[in-house]
Structure 1
Amino acid sequence: MQPYQQNQYAGAGVKTAAEVDQGLRAFMLGVYNNMILGLAISALVALGVNMLATTSDASQAVVNFRGIGLTQFGYALYMSPLKWFVALAPLAFIFLFSFRMDKMSASAARGTFFAFAAVMGASLSTLLIVFTGASVVQVFFITAAAFGSLSLWGYTTNRSLSGMGSFLIMGLVGLILASLVNMFIGWAPLQFGISVIGVLIFAGLTAYDTQKLKEMYLYGNFDGEAAAKISVYGALQLYLDFINMFQFLLSLLGNRNN
């Protein structure tokens, strides 16, 4: 076995190709484990919040929304000014990660990520009001299959995706601007176009971010603590790719409540 000359997480040294491959698999497994835990937390919180916010007992319903009875908690969460706090709270966590990640310990970063996933779950609970539960589950599994395939391709391809990544980031900026505009004009054809483009952008970003994480391991020079933080950062990136692709697919394929 030929040695692989590369600085890795355990420090500088000569590693065989097998050792590098084993370390890379362990690193990516840590990324995916954190991401899956984050998704599980979001799903459980979304379901729990929905159970508290809705009722099938008409006598306990404060208001009827899309054929669903909302409790006092549901009314406050979805129809009062509190809804803006719930919607924007995940963004606050993203900013916290952006500005404080370098100063956090690995355990603090992981805890913050899981707290973010819980807050995101509360925000995503609105999807169970707008769309039928069956279509939410169906689109979730469609997203999972697509995400798995795209991430696997990003991991295994020998083609550099850096150029595609730059293009996708520019497309994401345009997508955000178009979404903000459509918040005010509410034009259905524009929303359809935003959803289609959104699916394509986050599909591409899934492959790009996976390859980027692989390269960060191969060419980085991190100690154990830094490697653990990078694992959490990678989980956040892939989590956001998954959630955004899921929401855009749900907008296209989901069945809405009346």
Structure 2
Amino acid sequence: MSETDRLYKKNAGTAGVVAFDEGLRRYMIGVYNYMALGVAATALIAFGFLMSPAAMQTVAGLSFIPFIALIALGWFAPRLIMNGSKATAHGAYWAYVALWGVLIGPFVAGYIGMGMAGLVAQAFFISASIFAAMSLYGYTTKKDLSGWGRFLFMASIGFLVAIVVNFFLASTMFSLLISFGVVLLMSAITAFETQMIRNLYVEGAGEMNERSSIFGAFALYGSFISLFVHVLNILGIMRD
């Protein structure tokens, strides 16, 4: 039995199994609700780009700026969310959502504008299915996934570097290989993060607040959007 499972039994025995499980359920629903709202906001931003070619051109002229801002916020936001006020947590999360929308909005709008809305929908449902399966695995598995953390972090850095390199190479085949790799990586990260988010509640004896739910949503939202972008890229390249 893992240390987390022992903590679960101890905390559940103190507060009552039913009450503890109900609190965990509410906590996880809060995480997924915030994440779903973030995905919906990103979809609205993408729709805004579809309706405004001028906005799309403006973002295209920013080059690497939104990408660098997203990486920077992705690094600092967890600290702001967990250590700041509730208002700071909300601000960091929704700024992150907005930056993702600015970054991928033109990409998604481009597909829709070319009459490939069906492909976008297909990518979304494939991504949602993968995400749901891996998140369920992370939540229910008895295997301790914490040992994956170091490898997943290093792999993320490697793929990030590869994406930047391919920005200059503009190789379709390299882009396809990167996207397949990122889909596998994000699937594993989704399971890892879900277990981490669950364990935060267990180890905290159920004393989790709204900032904790926002932190969980922040982690899972980034994984889902990354998964969606690369599934869409795979489908687009395979279609061509």
TM-score by length of 2: 0.84
CA distance in structure 1 between the aligned counterparts of 2:207 and 2:17, rounded to whole angstroms: 19
Answer 1 or 2: which has greater strand percent: 1
Q: Is the 8 A contact 2:49 2:109 kept in 1?
A: no
Matched, 1:244 2:232: no
CA distance in structure 2 between the aligned counterparts of 1:5 and 1:189, rounded to whole angstroms: 52
Q: 2:77 aligns with which of 97, 111, 117?
A: 97
CA distance in structure 1 between the aligned counterparts of 2:109 and 2:239, rounded to whole angstroms: 7
Structure 1: gaps (5+ residues): 54-70
Aligned-residue offset at 1:83: 4.1
Per-residue Cα deviation, 1:22-80 (whole angstroms, up to 9, x for no partner): 11111101100110011111111111122112xxxxxxxxxxxxxxxxx4x433232x2
Q: 1:196 aligns with which of 180, 198, 207?
A: 180
Structure 1 equivalent of residue 156 of structure 2: 172
Per-residue Cα deviation, 1:157-202 (whole angstroms, up to 9, x for no partner): 1111122333222221221222222223233332222111100000
**CA-atom RMSD, angstroms?**
2.6
CA distance in structure 2 between the aligned counterparts of 1:92 and 1:178, rounded to whole angstroms: 18
Count of aligned pairs: 229
CA distance in structure 2 between the aligned counterparts of 1:99 and 1:162, rounded to whole angstroms: 20
Structure 2 equivalent of residue 254 of structure 1: 236
Cα 1:192–1:255 shift into 2, 3 Å: closer
TM-score by length of 1: 0.79
Structure 2 equivalent of residue 75 of structure 1: 57
Structure 2 equivalent of residue 67 of structure 1: none
| Runs of 4 or more above 4 Å deviation | 221-224, 255-258
Aligned-residue offset at 1:88: 3.6
Cα 1:149–1:168 shift into 2, 3 Å: same
Q: 1:183 aligns with which of 167, 173, 183?
A: 167
Write the mapping of 1:7-46 to structure 2, written as runs, cut at 5 A. Answer: 14-46=14-46
Cα 1:211–1:95 shift into 2, 3 Å: closer
CA distance in structure 2 between the aligned counterparts of 1:75 and 1:173, rounded to whole angstroms: 29
Q: Which amino acid in the other structure matches residue 5 of structure 1?
A: K
- Larger of the two Rg values belongs to structure: 1
Matched, 1:218 2:202: yes
Aligned-residue offset at 1:257: 10
Matched, 1:206 2:190: yes
Q: Which amino acid in the other structure matches residue 29 of structure 1?
A: I
> Relative to structure 2, which stretch is displaced further, 153-162 or 248-257?
248-257
Cα 1:4–1:75 shift into 2, 3 Å: closer
Q: Is the 8 A contact 2:127 2:228 kept in 1?
A: yes
Structure 2 equivalent of residue 52 of structure 1: 52
Answer 1 or 2: which has greater helix percent: 2
Structure 2 equivalent of residue 160 of structure 1: 144
CA distance in structure 2 between the aligned counterparts of 1:110 and 1:33, rounded to whole angstroms: 14
Q: Secondary structure at the match of 2:144?
A: coil
Structure 2: gaps (5+ residues): 1-7
Q: Is the 8 A contact 1:4 1:16 kept in 2?
A: no
Q: Which amino acid in the other structure matches residue 118 of structure 2?
A: A
Q: Is the 8 A contact 2:81 2:88 kept in 1?
A: no
CA distance in structure 2 between the aligned counterparts of 1:96 and 1:77, rounded to whole angstroms: 23
Q: Which amino acid in the other structure matches residue 160 of structure 1?
A: D
Percentage of matched positions with identical amino acids: 32
